[in-house]
Amino acid sequence: MSDRKPQGASIVFQTVGKTFTKPDGSSVSAVDDVSLTVESGAITGIIGRSGAGKSTMLRMVNGLERPTSGQILVGGQDVGAAQGAALRAIRRDVGMIFQHFNLLASRTVAGNIALPLEVAGVPKAKIRARVADLIHRVGLDAQSDRYPAELSGGQKQRVGIARALATEPKVLLSDEATSALDPETTQTVLQLLKDINRELGLTILLITHEMAVVRDIASHVAVIEGGKIVEAGKTYDVFTAPQHPTTRSFLSGVTGVTLPAFIKGQMHDDRPSGPCEEVLRVTFSGKHATDPMLALLTRDLGIAVNILAGAVEEIGTQPFGNLLLSLDADKGAEARAYLERHGLLTEVLGYVG
Ligand SMILES: Nc1ncnc2c1ncn2[C@@H]1O[C@H](COP(=O)(O)OP(=O)(O)OP(=O)(O)O)[C@@H](O)[C@H]1O
């Protein structure tokens, strides 16, 4: 792209709070006491429901909003305290892409990508060369002179990505960048972001309400609810051993493993009296993901299990599996202890009488 290879910068939220005052004078706490370190060069996802505070977190990283309390450091620089030239310098280091692309309809692909360079006062000849490079990087050589209205959603987002990269940022912020795209186009845009992250080493912080996006691209994830981070860690760890109910509910939509309706309809939270079956979720991860544990359970303890649903997925290059089982409730504790001893995680979902 140019002679300088951009390097990532870390983003550190230190006990950050953001309160908005509404027109009627009441206040809303959008972000509340958030501490989070986004590693330099990593792809980190912030996931949360609508109104959880995701956009506010992102907008504080490039100085579009200032925190009410705490600090945000980008590459060690305090964004909230920066003014004038210092703030402009931080903004050059932080590129952003948007759900609805935010392209100028009156400018061509090349013209849109050139815009931040024109604003930064880069000489024309240099702009031309850099724009050509960026267009090539995002695979739009044939569309260079087209206008946004003549592009598909995926192509528009590629323009957005190229424009965000124009000033060679250290950080790329992504605000639901694939939410308006179909699943196939989403995959190609996520792949482009991964390639950029690997080749340029820049830090990517993305917000999303889809766990599938986190699974497909992010090495780290933070779950936000009501302005607070309720869980954070490596994506693999959070997927295989989610701690918070909100995380679990996001995951239930993405693992593709749900109880068959006929079982769900009969299930009780508490164990009924008399003979019954315990319904279990078993999570396999890392080196245990492909172990034949259920066969071993039957062989070693003589406990038979019914498989209700299951899937093995990959996060990065690591496999993890989710199985829903039922077995004689009297044998439940023994079976769970056996599986846990062999490195699997178990969770009792309920009982069928
Ligand atoms: N400028 C503002 N003035 C008043 N309230 C605001 C403002 N910006 C955000 N809020 C409020 O702060 C809370 C968090 O909003 P935010 O947009 O950060 O959530 P979000 O997780 O990004 O949601 P969405 O996915 O719907 O965009 C919400 O209650 C929202 O109404």
Residue nearest to atom 26 of ligand 1 (CA): 50
Residue nearest to atom 10 of ligand 1 (CA): 30
Q: Which residues have a Cβ under 8 Å from the Cβ of 32 and sit 6 or more positions away?
A: 17, 53, 226, 227, 228
Q: Which two tokens stand for residue 305?
A: 């299990």
Q: Which atom of ligand 1 is nearest to the CA of 29?
A: 12
Mean pLDDT taken over the chain:
92
Strands of the 267-268 sheet, one edge to the other:
267-268, 345-352, 277-285, 318-328, 306-315
Residue 15, Cβ neighbours under 10 Å: how many?
12
Give distance in angstroms: CA of 49 to centre of ligand 1: 11
Q: Which atom of ligand 1 is nearest to the CA of 209?
A: 25
Residue nearest to atom 7 of ligand 1 (CA): 20
Residue nearest to atom 16 of ligand 1 (CA): 53
Q: Which residues have a Cβ under 8 Å from the Cβ of 249 and sit 6 or more positions away?
A: none
- CA–CA distance, 162 with 175 (Å, rounded to integer): 15
**Mean pLDDT, rounded, for 67-92:** 94
**Mean pLDDT, rounded, for 223-247:** 93
pLDDT at 5: 53
pLDDT confidence bin for 288, thresholds 50/70/90: low
To test the ligand 1 pocket, which listed residue (24, 28, 210) has its Cβ within 8 A of the most ligand atoms?
Answer: 28
Contact assessment for residue 268 and residue 353, using Cβ atoms and an 8 Å cutoff: yes
- CA–CA distance, 128 with 114 (Å, rounded to integer): 8
- CA–CA distance, 165 with 6 (Å, rounded to integer): 10
C-alpha 79, offset from chain centre = 23
**Mean pLDDT, rounded, for 249-260:** 78
* Helices H / strands E in the chain, number of each: 12, 15
**Mean pLDDT, rounded, for 175-191:** 95
Residue 135, Cβ neighbours under 10 Å: how many?
20
- Give the chain's length: 353
Percent over 90 (pLDDT), the chain: 77
**Mean pLDDT, rounded, for 176-203:** 95
- Kindly list the domain boundaries of the chain, sorted by start residue: 11-245, 261-352
- CA–CA distance, 37 with 122 (Å, rounded to integer): 33
| Tokens 């050139």, located at residue | 114
Q: Which residues have a Cβ under 8 Å from the Cβ of 185 and sit 6 or more positions away?
A: 152, 153, 154, 157, 178
Query: CA of 289: how far to CAs of 67, 109, 296, 307, 321, in Å?
Result: 43, 46, 14, 16, 6
Record the pTM.
0.86
pLDDT at 2 over 50: no
Residue nearest to atom 5 of ligand 1 (CA): 20
Give distance in angstroms: CA of 41 to centre of ligand 1: 27
- The answer, yes or no, to whether any atom of ligand 1 lies below 6 A from the CB of 60, is no
- The answer, yes or no, to whether any atom of ligand 1 lies below 6 A from the CB of 20, is yes
To test the ligand 1 pocket, which listed residue (16, 20, 32, 46) has its Cβ within 8 A of the most ligand atoms?
Answer: 20
pLDDT at 133: 96
- CA–CA distance, 292 with 307 (Å, rounded to integer): 13
Give distance in angstroms: CA of 35 to centre of ligand 1: 19
* Closest alpha carbon to 97 in 196, 29, 216, 200: 196
Provide the ipTM.
0.96
- The answer, yes or no, to whether any atom of ligand 1 lies below 6 A from the CB of 143, is no
Query: CA of 325: how far to CAs of 103, 172, 334, in Å?
Result: 50, 42, 15
- CA–CA distance, 330 with 303 (Å, rounded to integer): 10
Residue nearest to atom 29 of ligand 1 (CA): 51
The CATH homologous superfamily of the domain defined by 11-245? P-loop containing nucleotide triphosphate hydrolases (3.40.50.300)
- The answer, yes or no, to whether any atom of ligand 1 lies below 6 A from the CB of 30, is yes
- The answer, yes or no, to whether any atom of ligand 1 lies below 6 A from the CB of 67, is no
Strands (E), the chain: 11-21, 27-38, 43-47, 69-74, 77-78, 94-98, 171-175, 203-208, 220-225, 228-234, 267-268, 277-285, 306-315, 318-328, 345-352
Give distance in angstroms: CA of 213 to centre of ligand 1: 21
The CATH homologous superfamily of the domain defined by 261-352? ACT domain (3.30.70.260)
Q: Tell me: the pLDDT tens digits for 310-351?
A: 888 888 778 888 889 999 999 999 999 999 998 888 989 999
Residue 7, Cβ neighbours under 10 Å: how many?
14
3-state secondary structure of 55: helix
